[in-house]
Structure 1
Amino acid sequence: MKNKSQKRHKALQPLSRDHHQGLLLSWKIRTGLSKNIDTERIWRYANWFFETHLIPHFDMEEAHIFTLLDDKNELNRRALADHRCLKRLFSESEKNANTLSKIEEELEQHIRFEERVLFPEIQKIATEKQLNLIEEIHQEDDFVDKLDDEFWK
Protein backbone atom coordinates (compact mmCIF):
# COMPACT_ATOMS: atom_id res chain seq x y z
CA MET A 1 0.00 0.00 0.00
CA LYS A 2 1.36 3.40 -0.97
CA ASN A 3 1.60 6.22 1.52
CA LYS A 4 -0.66 9.09 0.63
CA SER A 5 1.50 12.14 -0.01
CA GLN A 6 1.08 14.95 2.45
CA LYS A 7 -0.06 18.28 1.10
CA ARG A 8 2.67 20.89 1.41
CA HIS A 9 1.81 23.64 3.91
CA LYS A 10 1.42 27.01 2.16
CA ALA A 11 4.35 28.43 4.16
CA LEU A 12 6.68 25.85 2.57
CA GLN A 13 5.26 26.02 -0.96
CA PRO A 14 7.57 28.86 -2.10
CA LEU A 15 10.56 26.80 -0.95
CA SER A 16 9.21 23.83 -2.91
CA ARG A 17 8.96 26.06 -5.99
CA ASP A 18 12.59 27.05 -5.39
CA HIS A 19 13.37 23.35 -5.30
CA HIS A 20 11.72 22.93 -8.69
CA GLN A 21 14.15 25.51 -10.11
CA GLY A 22 17.03 23.63 -8.45
CA LEU A 23 15.91 20.42 -10.12
CA LEU A 24 15.86 22.30 -13.42
CA LEU A 25 19.46 23.38 -12.77
CA SER A 26 20.40 19.71 -12.35
CA TRP A 27 18.59 18.88 -15.57
CA LYS A 28 20.30 21.74 -17.44
CA ILE A 29 23.74 20.62 -16.25
CA ARG A 30 22.98 16.99 -17.17
CA THR A 31 21.68 18.04 -20.58
CA GLY A 32 24.66 20.30 -21.27
CA LEU A 33 27.10 17.57 -20.35
CA SER A 34 25.28 15.00 -22.50
CA LYS A 35 25.50 17.39 -25.48
CA ASN A 36 29.24 17.92 -24.86
CA ILE A 37 28.71 21.65 -24.31
CA ASP A 38 31.85 23.55 -23.33
CA THR A 39 31.98 23.26 -19.53
CA GLU A 40 32.86 26.96 -19.18
CA ARG A 41 29.41 27.80 -20.52
CA ILE A 42 27.71 25.42 -18.09
CA TRP A 43 29.82 26.73 -15.19
CA ARG A 44 28.87 30.35 -15.97
CA TYR A 45 25.20 29.44 -15.65
CA ALA A 46 25.68 27.17 -12.62
CA ASN A 47 27.69 29.82 -10.75
CA TRP A 48 25.11 32.49 -11.56
CA PHE A 49 22.33 30.19 -10.28
CA PHE A 50 24.31 29.37 -7.15
CA GLU A 51 24.95 33.02 -6.25
CA THR A 52 21.53 34.33 -7.28
CA HIS A 53 19.23 31.56 -6.11
CA LEU A 54 20.87 28.77 -4.11
CA ILE A 55 22.78 30.86 -1.56
CA PRO A 56 19.68 32.90 -0.56
CA HIS A 57 17.62 29.68 -0.49
CA PHE A 58 20.18 27.92 1.71
CA ASP A 59 20.37 30.94 4.02
CA MET A 60 16.57 30.98 4.39
CA GLU A 61 16.40 27.28 5.18
CA GLU A 62 19.30 27.36 7.63
CA ALA A 63 17.95 30.38 9.51
CA HIS A 64 14.24 29.58 9.58
CA ILE A 65 13.47 25.98 8.55
CA PHE A 66 16.20 23.73 9.91
CA THR A 67 16.11 25.55 13.25
CA LEU A 68 12.65 24.11 13.84
CA LEU A 69 14.42 20.82 14.48
CA ASP A 70 16.88 20.23 17.29
CA ASP A 71 20.46 20.81 16.12
CA LYS A 72 21.24 17.20 17.02
CA ASN A 73 18.37 15.93 14.86
CA GLU A 74 19.69 13.55 12.18
CA LEU A 75 17.56 15.15 9.43
CA ASN A 76 18.78 18.62 10.36
CA ARG A 77 22.38 17.44 10.41
CA ARG A 78 22.03 15.79 7.00
CA ALA A 79 20.45 18.90 5.45
CA LEU A 80 23.26 21.11 6.78
CA ALA A 81 25.90 18.62 5.61
CA ASP A 82 24.30 18.61 2.14
CA HIS A 83 24.47 22.41 2.03
CA ARG A 84 28.15 22.35 3.04
CA CYS A 85 28.90 19.72 0.39
CA LEU A 86 27.18 21.72 -2.35
CA LYS A 87 28.95 24.93 -1.32
CA ARG A 88 32.29 23.09 -1.47
CA LEU A 89 31.50 21.69 -4.92
CA PHE A 90 30.62 25.12 -6.28
CA SER A 91 33.87 26.54 -4.89
CA GLU A 92 36.07 23.74 -6.31
CA SER A 93 39.11 25.01 -8.13
CA GLU A 94 38.66 22.24 -10.70
CA LYS A 95 35.86 23.69 -12.83
CA ASN A 96 35.41 20.60 -14.96
CA ALA A 97 32.70 18.22 -16.15
CA ASN A 98 33.29 15.82 -13.25
CA THR A 99 32.57 18.53 -10.66
CA LEU A 100 29.49 19.67 -12.59
CA SER A 101 28.26 16.09 -12.63
CA LYS A 102 28.75 15.83 -8.85
CA ILE A 103 26.84 19.10 -8.35
CA GLU A 104 24.00 17.86 -10.51
CA GLU A 105 23.73 14.58 -8.59
CA GLU A 106 24.16 16.04 -5.10
CA LEU A 107 21.69 18.86 -5.70
CA GLU A 108 19.01 16.53 -7.02
CA GLN A 109 19.46 14.08 -4.12
CA HIS A 110 19.38 16.92 -1.61
CA ILE A 111 16.19 18.41 -3.02
CA ARG A 112 14.47 15.00 -3.10
CA PHE A 113 15.51 14.48 0.54
CA GLU A 114 14.09 17.83 1.62
CA GLU A 115 10.85 17.36 -0.28
CA ARG A 116 10.21 13.72 0.64
CA VAL A 117 11.67 13.50 4.16
CA LEU A 118 12.62 16.80 5.77
CA PHE A 119 9.66 19.02 4.86
CA PRO A 120 7.06 16.41 5.88
CA GLU A 121 8.83 16.12 9.24
CA ILE A 122 8.92 19.92 9.62
CA GLN A 123 5.19 20.04 8.89
CA LYS A 124 4.55 17.46 11.62
CA ILE A 125 6.44 19.28 14.35
CA ALA A 126 6.08 22.97 13.49
CA THR A 127 3.35 25.00 15.13
CA GLU A 128 0.98 27.10 13.06
CA LYS A 129 2.66 30.18 14.53
CA GLN A 130 6.08 29.00 13.34
CA LEU A 131 4.76 28.23 9.87
CA ASN A 132 3.06 31.62 9.67
CA LEU A 133 6.36 33.28 10.57
CA ILE A 134 8.10 31.39 7.75
CA GLU A 135 5.39 32.54 5.38
CA GLU A 136 5.91 36.17 6.45
CA ILE A 137 9.69 35.97 6.17
CA HIS A 138 9.95 34.18 2.83
CA GLN A 139 8.17 36.36 0.33
CA GLU A 140 8.32 34.62 -3.00
CA ASP A 141 9.68 36.48 -5.99
CA ASP A 142 8.98 35.47 -9.55
CA PHE A 143 11.89 33.38 -10.75
CA VAL A 144 13.92 35.20 -13.38
CA ASP A 145 16.24 32.94 -15.34
CA LYS A 146 19.51 33.81 -17.05
CA LEU A 147 18.75 33.18 -20.70
CA ASP A 148 21.69 34.79 -22.51
CA ASP A 149 23.19 31.35 -23.22
CA GLU A 150 20.62 28.56 -23.25
CA PHE A 151 23.16 25.77 -23.69
CA TRP A 152 20.62 23.14 -22.64
CA LYS A 153 18.42 23.63 -25.73
Structure 2
Amino acid sequence: MADLWLRGGMTRSAALEPLSHDHHEGLAFAARLRRARRDGDDPVPLVAEVAAFWRDHLVPHFADEEAFVLPVLEDGAAPLAAQMVEEHRQIRALVERVAAEAPTWGGPLGEVADALAAHIRFEEREAFPAAERLADADALARIGHQIHDTHSHR
Protein backbone atom coordinates (compact mmCIF):
# COMPACT_ATOMS: atom_id res chain seq x y z
CA MET A 1 0.00 0.00 0.00
CA ALA A 2 1.79 3.03 -1.23
CA ASP A 3 -0.57 5.71 0.02
CA LEU A 4 -0.72 5.38 3.77
CA TRP A 5 -1.32 8.11 6.26
CA LEU A 6 -0.89 8.11 10.00
CA ARG A 7 -3.83 8.88 12.29
CA GLY A 8 -3.46 8.37 16.01
CA GLY A 9 -0.94 5.59 15.52
CA MET A 10 -3.01 3.83 12.86
CA THR A 11 -2.20 3.71 9.17
CA ARG A 12 -4.97 4.12 6.65
CA SER A 13 -4.82 3.93 2.89
CA ALA A 14 -5.46 7.19 1.10
CA ALA A 15 -8.45 5.49 -0.54
CA LEU A 16 -10.30 5.27 2.76
CA GLU A 17 -9.01 8.53 4.25
CA PRO A 18 -12.24 10.49 3.54
CA LEU A 19 -14.25 7.84 5.39
CA SER A 20 -11.83 8.00 8.32
CA HIS A 21 -12.21 11.78 8.32
CA ASP A 22 -15.99 11.25 8.51
CA HIS A 23 -15.33 8.96 11.46
CA HIS A 24 -13.43 11.74 13.20
CA GLU A 25 -16.49 13.99 12.78
CA GLY A 26 -18.70 11.18 14.08
CA LEU A 27 -16.55 10.73 17.18
CA ALA A 28 -16.65 14.48 17.82
CA PHE A 29 -20.45 14.42 17.58
CA ALA A 30 -20.65 11.40 19.88
CA ALA A 31 -18.40 13.18 22.39
CA ARG A 32 -20.66 16.24 22.26
CA LEU A 33 -23.70 14.08 23.01
CA ARG A 34 -21.86 12.33 25.84
CA ARG A 35 -20.84 15.66 27.39
CA ALA A 36 -24.41 16.92 27.15
CA ARG A 37 -25.67 13.73 28.79
CA ARG A 38 -23.03 13.90 31.53
CA ASP A 39 -23.76 17.57 32.21
CA GLY A 40 -27.51 17.00 32.30
CA ASP A 41 -28.19 19.37 29.40
CA ASP A 42 -31.73 19.70 28.10
CA PRO A 43 -32.08 16.89 25.54
CA VAL A 44 -34.83 18.60 23.50
CA PRO A 45 -32.56 20.75 21.28
CA LEU A 46 -30.31 17.76 20.62
CA VAL A 47 -33.09 15.88 18.84
CA ALA A 48 -32.78 18.28 15.90
CA GLU A 49 -28.98 18.00 15.99
CA VAL A 50 -29.18 14.21 15.81
CA ALA A 51 -31.58 14.44 12.86
CA ALA A 52 -29.31 16.92 11.06
CA PHE A 53 -26.18 14.85 11.71
CA TRP A 54 -27.98 11.77 10.43
CA ARG A 55 -29.17 13.53 7.26
CA ASP A 56 -26.02 15.50 6.48
CA HIS A 57 -23.29 13.12 7.61
CA LEU A 58 -24.36 9.56 8.35
CA VAL A 59 -26.68 8.90 5.40
CA PRO A 60 -24.06 9.78 2.76
CA HIS A 61 -21.28 8.16 4.81
CA PHE A 62 -23.14 4.88 5.20
CA ALA A 63 -24.00 4.96 1.48
CA ASP A 64 -20.31 5.32 0.58
CA GLU A 65 -19.29 2.49 2.89
CA GLU A 66 -21.99 0.19 1.58
CA ALA A 67 -21.22 1.04 -2.05
CA PHE A 68 -17.43 0.86 -1.93
CA VAL A 69 -16.14 -0.96 1.18
CA LEU A 70 -18.89 -3.50 1.72
CA PRO A 71 -18.36 -5.38 -1.60
CA VAL A 72 -14.70 -5.93 -0.69
CA LEU A 73 -15.64 -7.26 2.74
CA GLU A 74 -18.40 -9.47 1.34
CA ASP A 75 -15.85 -11.20 -0.89
CA GLY A 76 -13.33 -11.98 1.83
CA ALA A 77 -14.63 -11.08 5.28
CA ALA A 78 -18.36 -11.77 5.22
CA PRO A 79 -18.83 -11.61 9.02
CA LEU A 80 -17.35 -8.10 9.07
CA ALA A 81 -19.59 -7.09 6.17
CA ALA A 82 -22.63 -8.40 8.01
CA GLN A 83 -21.63 -6.57 11.18
CA MET A 84 -21.15 -3.30 9.29
CA VAL A 85 -24.60 -3.50 7.71
CA GLU A 86 -26.26 -4.53 10.98
CA GLU A 87 -24.65 -1.68 12.90
CA HIS A 88 -25.75 0.78 10.21
CA ARG A 89 -29.29 -0.58 10.60
CA GLN A 90 -29.13 -0.28 14.39
CA ILE A 91 -27.93 3.32 14.27
CA ARG A 92 -30.64 4.20 11.74
CA ALA A 93 -33.25 2.63 14.05
CA LEU A 94 -31.92 4.60 17.03
CA VAL A 95 -32.09 7.86 15.08
CA GLU A 96 -35.67 7.07 14.06
CA ARG A 97 -36.55 6.40 17.70
CA VAL A 98 -34.93 9.68 18.76
CA ALA A 99 -37.29 11.48 16.38
CA ALA A 100 -40.35 9.50 17.48
CA GLU A 101 -40.00 9.29 21.26
CA ALA A 102 -39.96 11.86 24.03
CA PRO A 103 -36.42 13.22 24.35
CA THR A 104 -34.81 11.87 27.50
CA TRP A 105 -31.27 10.78 28.20
CA GLY A 106 -32.62 7.40 29.33
CA GLY A 107 -34.05 6.68 25.87
CA PRO A 108 -32.52 6.30 22.43
CA LEU A 109 -30.98 9.78 22.53
CA GLY A 110 -28.66 8.54 25.26
CA GLU A 111 -27.80 5.45 23.22
CA VAL A 112 -26.88 7.17 19.95
CA ALA A 113 -23.49 8.42 21.13
CA ASP A 114 -22.41 5.04 22.47
CA ALA A 115 -23.62 3.12 19.40
CA LEU A 116 -21.97 5.56 17.00
CA ALA A 117 -18.62 5.54 18.83
CA ALA A 118 -18.57 1.73 19.08
CA HIS A 119 -19.42 1.40 15.40
CA ILE A 120 -16.64 3.77 14.37
CA ARG A 121 -14.13 1.87 16.51
CA PHE A 122 -15.22 -1.39 14.85
CA GLU A 123 -14.78 0.01 11.36
CA GLU A 124 -11.43 1.67 12.05
CA ARG A 125 -9.95 -1.29 13.94
CA GLU A 126 -11.45 -4.23 12.05
CA ALA A 127 -13.47 -3.52 8.91
CA PHE A 128 -11.22 -0.98 7.19
CA PRO A 129 -7.97 -2.86 7.86
CA ALA A 130 -9.59 -6.03 6.48
CA ALA A 131 -10.77 -4.21 3.35
CA GLU A 132 -7.28 -2.78 2.84
CA ARG A 133 -5.77 -6.28 3.13
CA LEU A 134 -8.33 -7.83 0.78
CA ALA A 135 -8.26 -5.23 -2.00
CA ASP A 136 -5.29 -5.08 -4.33
CA ALA A 137 -3.65 -1.75 -5.16
CA ASP A 138 -5.73 -1.20 -8.30
CA ALA A 139 -8.99 -1.92 -6.49
CA LEU A 140 -8.02 0.43 -3.65
CA ALA A 141 -7.18 3.14 -6.18
CA ARG A 142 -10.60 2.73 -7.85
CA ILE A 143 -12.35 2.78 -4.48
CA GLY A 144 -10.39 5.87 -3.51
CA HIS A 145 -11.36 7.72 -6.68
CA GLN A 146 -15.02 6.82 -6.17
CA ILE A 147 -15.01 7.91 -2.53
CA HIS A 148 -13.17 11.15 -3.29
CA ASP A 149 -15.65 11.84 -6.10
CA THR A 150 -18.70 11.38 -3.87
CA HIS A 151 -17.13 13.52 -1.14
CA SER A 152 -16.36 16.33 -3.58
CA HIS A 153 -20.06 16.53 -4.50
CA ARG A 154 -21.28 17.06 -0.94
Which TM-score bucket, shorter chain as reference?
A: 0.7 to 0.9
- Quote the Cα distance in structure 1 between the aligned partners of 2:74 and 2:30: 30
What do residues 44-86 of structure 1 show as CA deviations (whole Å, max 9, x unaligned)? 1111111000000000000111111227810000010000000
Instruction: Give TM-score scaled by structure 1 length.
Output: 0.84
Identical aligned pairs, as a percentage? 31
67-76 or 27-36, which deviates more? 67-76
In structure 1, list runs of 5 or more residues that go unmatched.
144-153
Match of 1:57 among 61, 64, 83: 61
4+ residue segments displaced more than 6 Å: none
Greater helix proportion: 2
Give the aligned partner of residue 96 of structure 1: 104
- Quote the Cα distance in structure 2 between the aligned partners of 1:37 and 1:8: 36
In structure 2, list runs of 5 or more residues that go unmatched.
1-8
Secondary structure of the residue aligned to 1:70 is helix
- What RMSD in Å do the two structures reach over aligned CA positions? 1.7
Match of 1:87 among 81, 89, 92: 92
Instruction: Give TM-score scaled by structure 2 length.
Output: 0.83
- Quote the Cα distance in structure 1 between the aligned partners of 2:144 and 2:64: 11
- Quote the Cα distance in structure 2 between the aligned partners of 1:122 and 1:6: 15
